[in-house]
Amino acid sequence: MENDHPIALLGGLTPAQFMRRHWQKKPLLVRAAVPGFAPPLSRTELFALAADDAVESRLLVRDGARWRLRHGPMPRRALPPLSRPGWTLLLQGVDLHVQAARALLDSFRFVPEARLDDLMISYASDGGGVGPHVDSYDVFLLQASGRRRWQIARQRDTSLVPGLPLKILRNFEPEQEWVLEPGDMLYLPPGWGHDGVALGGDCVTCSIGMRAPGREELARSVLQRTLDETEAPESDALYRDPLQPATDAPGRIPPALLAFANDAVARLVGDASSLACALGEVLSEPKPRVSFDPNETAAMGGGIVLDRRSRMLYDDARIYLNGESYLASGRDAKLMRSLADRRALGATETKRLSPEAHRLIEEWARAGWLHGAADEGG
């Protein structure tokens, strides 16, 4: 990716400038970020996805100060009439189901893949929205069709209206507002209050959402992985205490035993290589609902493309794909990294992989994790 070239998507900033000036720092409004933007799916396709139980969907209906929230799957008849104002349908993880949505997410890969979460699509009738709120993650709000008025504020007071099925700010005082037309985009860092209200019906907004692991949550999952993968040693080093004197306080835990425990834990977490490996596996783990379409007869010839659901990452030592890790070095490592960066490899590059790497590619193709370049696997 050309990070030093101005792009329309970022309003003429280069990705490098955007990351320096705005990312995690301040909002950016971009008019015509995607000129002539066509929604990645039609209204009919959107409603069909809402009815699919593999898709995470929510319906929010506003009735004055009352809000009703319903979780999908949502058959078409569960949706209010299009002419009824004040409702919105939210579809999470559309990139996992629709190739065009994945492609849209890919245009934001100047942000590391490990930080990209998903593409959410909302459909709103006139006046629909999710109310004023703050998010914990950065988001790019790209207007796909219809018009939406966004109001934003640097939010210090994060108290919420009590008793609602969703988080709505009690005291939201907009500082800036814009009406976004199709193709316009608003970037918001975490912690900014925002409220998007559909002006007129058929309002579709794509949210390119980020993810950021919590410190403790990440420590837990990395340690859990490390433990799962550490085999119980055949001969464990046992605590020894040849210098233990006779005690008149037999209930007290010997301080040397505490030191032994500290040392044992430090050894476990001090192994940088297994921690790195566990991190890569954790970060590349597909989301809970994701399932791939295995293809037993996958015949690999020319180039390859990753399946839209695949998460592929790497570090200096390993390649990670969908929660699995592989040691890689030399030319194979270079090519596999290129596959992770571009989500595809040309026919010539694929040919240069070693026979072992070819076997892996075939295994991954059978698992549905990647496909031959000509057949993107629907």
Interface pick for ligand SIN out of 139, 278, 306, 333 (rule CB under 6 A): 139
Angle CA 159–189–164, to nearest 5: 30
CB atoms within 10 A of CB 45: 15
For the chain, helix, strand, coil in percent to 5 are 30, 25, 45
Q: Which of 260, 359, 360 is nearest to 320 (CA)?
A: 360
Q: Identify which of residues 86 and 196 has a Cβ nearer to ligand SIN in the complex.
A: 196
Counting contacts by CB under 5 A, is residue 135 touching Co ion? yes
Interface pick for ligand SIN out of 106, 135, 285, 324 (rule CB under 6 A): 135
> How far is residue 298's CA from residue 304's CA, in Å, rounded to a whole number?
11
User: Quick one: which segment of 37-45, 101-109, 129-137, 269-277 binds ligand SIN (CB under 6 A)?
Assistant: 129-137
Tokens of 61: 């209906």
Please, what is the minimum distance in Å from the beta carbon of residue 150 to ligand SIN? 9
DSSP letter for 37, please.
-
Question: What backbone torsions phi and psi does residue 85 show, to the nearest 5 degrees?
Answer: -75, 160
User: Quick one: which segment of 122-130, 233-241, 283-291, 312-320 binds ligand SIN (CB under 6 A)?
Assistant: 122-130
Q: Identify which of residues 168 and 317 has a Cβ nearer to Co ion in the complex.
A: 168
Interface pick for ligand SIN out of 182, 196, 280, 377 (rule CB under 6 A): 196
Please, what is the minimum distance in Å from the beta carbon of residue 196 to ligand SIN? 5
Please, what is the minimum distance in Å from the beta carbon of residue 153 to ligand SIN? 13
Chain-centre distance for alpha carbon 118 = 4
Size of the site for ligand SIN (CB under 6 A): 10
Q: Identify which of residues 208 and 283 has a Cβ nearer to ligand SIN in the complex.
A: 208
Q: Identify which of residues 192 and 320 has a Cβ nearer to Co ion in the complex.
A: 192
Counting contacts by CB under 6 A, is residue 122 touching ligand SIN? yes
143 binds, among ligand SIN, Co ion, none (CB under 5 to 8 A by kind): none
Residue with tokens 């921690």: 275
Contacts of 238 (CB under 8 A, 6+ apart): none
Counting contacts by CB under 6 A, is residue 371 touching ligand SIN? no
> How far is residue 5's CA from residue 7's CA, in Å, rounded to a whole number?
6
Q: Identify which of residues 146 and 372 has a Cβ nearer to ligand SIN in the complex.
A: 146
Which CA distances in Å does 289 have to 40, 101, 159, 225, 283? 21, 17, 32, 20, 16
Please, what is the minimum distance in Å from the beta carbon of residue 194 to Co ion? 6
CB atoms within 10 A of CB 179: 12
Tokens of 162: 């009590």
Q: Identify which of residues 45 and 135 has a Cβ nearer to Co ion in the complex.
A: 135
Interface pick for ligand SIN out of 130, 306, 313, 336 (rule CB under 6 A): 130
Angle CA 49–52–58, to nearest 5: 70
Q: Identify which of residues 9 and 188 has a Cβ nearer to ligand SIN in the complex.
A: 188
Counting contacts by CB under 6 A, is residue 145 touching ligand SIN? no
Q: At what angle do helices 215-229 and 272-283 cross, to 10 degrees?
A: 110
Classify the C-alpha dihedral 102-106-111-114 as positive or negative.
positive
Please, what is the minimum distance in Å from the beta carbon of residue 47 to ligand SIN? 16
> How far is residue 202's CA from residue 122's CA, in Å, rounded to a whole number?
10
Counting contacts by CB under 6 A, is residue 88 touching ligand SIN? yes
Counting contacts by CB under 6 A, is residue 194 touching ligand SIN? yes
- Which residues here bind ligand SIN, judged by CB under 6 A? 88, 122, 129-130, 135, 139, 194, 196, 205, 207
Residues that bind Co ion (CB under 5 A): 135
